[in-house]
Amino acid sequence: MRGYAMQKDDYRNRLRRIEGQVRGLQRMIDEDEYCVDVLTQIVSVTKALQGVGLGLLDEHLRHCVREAAESSRIEGDAKVTEAVQAVERLLKV
């Protein structure tokens, strides 16, 4: 079972809201909205996606990494490395 399985519905709902925000951005472009207003909405969508990413990372650390570390040092170290790489990807611009 994945670490986020217990909160799957929450993540799905958050992603649906983000999907709606992205459709709103498309509408804003279609309707020639003011550039700064579009950029403001892009920031909002970006922050929402980052929130989902951080939530998944938290679940990964609390479930997958902890479980691997309790199983063996080698598995734990591998999961920690994997988590660090995931953080690096999240922080890349």
pLDDT in tens, 19-69: 999 999 999 999 999 999 999 999 999 999 999 999 999 999 999 999 999
Read off the pTM.
0.81
Sign of the Cα pseudo-torsion (56, 58, 61, 63, in order): negative
CA distance 79 to 40: 36
CATH architecture of 5-91: Up-down Bundle (1.20)
Lookup: tokens for 83: 């988590």
